[in-house]
Each structure stands twice: as C-alpha cells, then as structure tokens.
Amino acid sequence: MTEGSTQISCAQFEPRIGELEKNVATSLSLIASAADSGSDLIVLPELCNSGYVLASRQEAFELSEDAATGPSIAAWVKAAAERNVYLVAGFLERDGVRLYNSAIVVGPDGPVGTYRKNHLWDAEALYFERGDLGFPVFHTPFGRLGVLICYDGWFPEAWRLLALQGADIVCVPTNWVPMEKQPDGLPAMANVLCMGAAHSNSMVVAACDRVGTERGQTFIGQSLIVDHNGWPIAGPASHCETETITAVCDLSQARRQRNWNSFNQVMRDRRTDLYGEMLGTTARPNWY
C-alpha cells in the first residue's frame, strides 16, 4: 500500500438466528483472514451476532447485550487489539429495558463509539427504539468515520449530515432484502443508493450485507465498497455466498477532491438560504 492509504474489507456472511457464539466465531475467523491480508478497517453485517428475523420481543431481549459489557463486544474488542485493526459490527443492543439495532466501532485501544439505527424497517418497530444518538462521526488514524445501518441509507439527509460533520468514509452494516419490481440486469437499488451518496457527498462508502434465508426472509448479499467519486472499487459481492471484498484507498482524497470543476464544490454550492445549514439538527458542521 502507498503511504496514506487504508485497506478496507467488508466480510459478508450468513449469521444464524439465535446462534450467538457461532455467529461471533464466524465473524472472528473472517476478521482474522482480512487482517492477515493487511486490512486496517473491517466491516461486518447488521445484527451479525444475533441474526435478524426476530420472533418476539422476548427473543430479542434474550439475544441482546450491553454495549459496554456484552460478550460479542468483548470478543470484537479483543480481536481488534490482537490484530491492530478497526471494526464496525452490527449487534442487538440492550440499554436497560430498551433495545436498539446498533453498530459498534472498536479499535486496537478498545471501543470508539456506538451508532443506533435511526430509521427502522418493517417489523423492527416491534422490538427496537429509534436511534437517539444522532449521526456521530468517529475519529480514527486513517480518517473520520460515520456509520449508517441498512434502511438509513434510503435517507439522503443521513448521508449529508455525516458529510457535513467531516466524514471521509461511511460504513454500512446492513441486511438488504429484495426490492419490489427490481429489474433483471440492473444493480440492486441498495448499491445504487450507496453509489449516489458517495458521489453526491464525496466520501467513501463500505457497505457489508449478509446472505442466506432466515425464517423465510431472503437477503441479497452484494456488499460493495465505493470510492468518493461514486464508483465501486470492490464488489458487488456474491448474492448468496460468504465473501470478503477488499479495497485500498486514500480516504483523504474524499476531502481533497470535493471540487468537481473550477466553479462547483458540492458542500459550498448548497443553498443554505433555502434550507438550514445542518438540516435542522444540532450537529456541528466540520468540513472544508
């Protein structure tokens, strides 16, 4: 790798509902392989420790864990320290009696932060609270990192708020499902949304999906990594197989190359006389 470059992997696999220890063991094996290949940042799927299609609130609660003390988190923290890598992993978070569809960011020195899914999909509303941590951006040695989870990616405001806070890369643990009326021969809508968001915000996107069928629900795989221009640099991965995709990029280029030409820069061209600088949130802008 050249100086300043970061190797990113998305480790796509099939978690099994309720099989916490087995799912985490699978994730650790994939983390080890990606780290051995030189990856600095490894992204895992949404709810990759628990499985996704929950049968009841009771089952969800039994599969949940605290972000500070949970066994899945402890295993990922240990792996990150041993392998000197950063991880973004989806897990079923318990905070008191509240449950969240969350993702944790961990590094060699331990947990960096947690993101809670803000936009709930379908039956998720039966089990999870909507996220209450906003759209945090986490600082890492290789750049500023934001997180979205699955359906969050359908909201351009989410991507833009991360970009306005200076995110160089957005990691997306996800469990994409087939979209109605998806034409044959065209990219998955989820892939198109990631490409569009990367292009319109000039930031790298690393989206890691799961595969398989769980309690009748099929998942589409097709994880991908997109550069800040909006073009895939790894993937889309298989629609049905465990697969790790990897790409190398200089995340600083996302910030350096936001000028499309002599006149246009995607952040400075916004009409903040027509809409709020931060779209009505209290987040602090941090871009240049």
| Residues labelled catalytic | 46, 117, 150
Residues 6+ away with beta carbon under 8 Å from 35: 42, 83, 84, 85
Separation of first and last alpha carbons in the chain: 26
CA distance 201 to 212: 32
Please report, for residues 73, 87, 103, 108, 111, the alpha-carbon distance to residue 81 in angstroms, rounded to integers and kept in the order given. Answer: 12, 10, 18, 4, 10
Structure tokens at 64: 């949940």
b/e 155-176 (16+ beta carbons within 10 angstroms → b):
eeebbbbbbbbbbbbbbbbbbb
* Tally of CB atoms within 10 A around 181: 6
168 neighbors 145 (Cβ within 8 angstroms): yes
Cα–Cα nearest to 122, from 67, 161, 179: 179
DSSP conformational letter for 16: -
